[in-house]
């Protein structure tokens, strides 16, 4: 089925999709924050004065607290505008480094499945609604890579790369969902555990360790982002 629309009409349609998704994403974020505020607001206010007490209370919420964290992580992956590190630090602070890691990875897997399913079903137009054409163009080298699995593992292993943006592109490649989930989940572990460890240190009020972990994470992420930028420029012929 081909389209008889002119380039100008296609551009206007693209802009409308972008605006609609941006509005829905914003409303979704507002909805989540309002829910958290009205449900846990009074307890969150105790964080500054009694972080240890808040941590104990949050851990005592049982499955509800875990599901809420997973839901926020899914939203973070799908919306792709929220910084993942914030959610990961909160997970580490609330549930500890290792449980926080497990919850974040679970949310990432669920979010990736959602994105993969939608991109397979609706194709590039769906992706363009979430990711700008400029970013899409910069990632075209992924689709043309002869060593796709190795490249994806490497990109998800490097701290600082736009993993959620790359996730949107995966559904446009020949890679199978199972393969992508295994590679990306394993590769995410070092980056996520560093954030949950820092959050856990904050929960234990070991601020010296937290500062050290976050400083190392920022340094490594900056190096990773530089490496990613060089990879993109190299594959797109921009020297």
Question: Tokens 């240890």 label which residue?
Answer: 52
Looking at the predicted structure, is the pLDDT value of residue 81 above 80? no
Alpha carbon separation from 93 to 112, 211, 230 (Å, rounded): 24, 14, 34
Structure-block tokens of residue 10: 């296609």
Closest CA to 180 of 120, 93, 100, 230: 120
- Cα Rg, the chain, nearest whole Å: 19
Name the pTM for this structure.
Answer: 0.73
Please compute the mean of the pLDDT values over residues 110-125 and round it to a whole number: 86
Looking at the predicted structure, is the pLDDT value of residue 234 above 60? yes
């Amino acid at each position: 089925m081909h389209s008889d629309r002119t380039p100008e009409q296609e551009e206007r349609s693209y802009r409308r999709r972008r605006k609609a998704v941006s509005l829905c994403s914003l409303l979704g974020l507002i909805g989540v924050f309002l829910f958290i505020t009205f449900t846990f607001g009074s307890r969150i206010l105790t964080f500054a004065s009694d972080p240890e007490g808040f941590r104990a209370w949050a851990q005592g919420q049982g499955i509800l607290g875990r599901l809420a964290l997973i839901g926020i992580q899914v939203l973070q992956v799908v919306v792709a505008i929220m910084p993942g590190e914030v959610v990961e630090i909160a997970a580490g602070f609330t549930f500890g480094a290792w449980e926080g890691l497990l919850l974040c990875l679970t949310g990432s897997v669920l979010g990736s499945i959602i994105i993969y399913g939608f991109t397979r079903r609706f194709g590039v137009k769906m992706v363009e609604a979430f990711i700008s054409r400029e970013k899409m163009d910069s990632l075209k080298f992924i689709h043309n890579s002869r060593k796709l699995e190795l490249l994806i593992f490497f990109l998800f292993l490097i701290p600082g790369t736009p993993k959620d943006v790359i996730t949107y592109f995966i559904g446009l490649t020949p890679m199978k969902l199972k393969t992508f989930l295994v590679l990306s989940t394993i590769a995410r572990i070092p980056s996520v555990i560093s954030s949950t460890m820092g959050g856990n240190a904050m929960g234990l009020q070991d601020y010296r360790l937290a500062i050290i972990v976050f400083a190392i994470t920022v340094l490594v992420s900056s190096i990773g982002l530089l490496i990613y930028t060089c990879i993109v420029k190299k594959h797109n012929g921009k020297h």
